[in-house]
Amino acid sequence: MSNYTLAPVGKGNGLNEIDFVLADGDSWSITADLPDDAHLFMRAMATLENPVRGDYFYCGTRLDFSDYRFLLPYKKKIGYISPDSALIGNRTIEDNLLLMKSYFENARGIDEETEALCRYFQIEDKLNLRPAQLDREDLRLAVIIRELLKHPEMLLLERPRDFLGPRKFALFSAVLKEKTRSGIPLVFLTSDEEFTRDFAGREAVISRGFLTCS
């Protein structure tokens, strides 16, 4: 992101002319004086917010925010796990997890990778349920599985420990360590010091709408 400015949301100050570069293998921890600004930054990274000014470059290509359709090929390469991340309510968990496969490959039926991840996170018996029938932990796990199945080129995590019990969080951490070791850049927002110690390579601080990197 270059000279990126975003209008404030909620009680935040917005983001003012921030410059942020994410390279392969990077792992950034984001902290902010206002939670709304931190959330705005993560959404901007996921291309879910239109900038007032500035440019977003994805692997050298300048993204065009004039029409959401231009962003779709890039959004599908970004894994974004946040408290806002939702599953489609009128579809089963299986349909949600296989949405991209069903759409891009016109294929139906669960594949080995999806099955393996569901077994790993222990939600394989819940695939025929709708999101409203799941508890918050299983819902969060389904979102995590969906994002991992995208084989993302970048992972964005907001409050990763929220809604996950210690056992399931340990399972998620193990998968995340594998992903970061393979070079996938990671940007996360958390108040969990242990997570920050385990994963943060660098830190970025947002204060009064301005970003400082260390």
Report the interface residues with another protein, using CB under 8 A: 46, 48, 68-69, 71-73, 75-78, 80, 84-90, 99-100, 102-104, 106-108, 146, 150
**CA dist 122 → 31, 55, 133, 161, 164 (Å):** 32, 41, 16, 17, 13
* Closer residue to another protein in complex, CB, 98/211: 98
Rounded least distance, CB 4 to another protein, Å: 19
At 187, list the tokens: 């940007």
- In the DSSP assignment, the letter for residue 125 is G
Other beta carbons within 10 Å of 195: 19
Q: Alpha carbon of 14 to those of 18, 63, 151, 157, 181: distances in Å?
A: 10, 20, 31, 20, 33
> What is the nearest approach in angstroms of another protein to the Cβ of residue 127?
17
Between 67 and 193, name the residue whose CB sits nearer to another protein.
Answer: 67
- Give 30 or 143: the residue with its C-beta nearer to another protein: 143
Per-residue CA distances from 54 to 6, 66, 114 (Å) = 9, 13, 38
Least distance to another protein, CB of residue 94, Å: 14
Question: Which of 16/82 has CB closer to another protein?
Answer: 82
What's the rounded Cα separation, in Å, for the pair 74 and 168? 29
User: Smallest gap, in angstroms, from Cβ of residue 75 to another protein?
Assistant: 5
CB of 152 to another protein, least distance (A): 10
CB of 171 to another protein, least distance (A): 22
Residue 100 or 174: the one with the smaller Cβ distance to another protein is 100
In sign, the C-alpha dihedral spanning 70, 76, 82, 87 is: positive
Tokens, residue 174: 């193990």
Of 66 and 214, the one with the shorter C-beta distance to another protein is 66
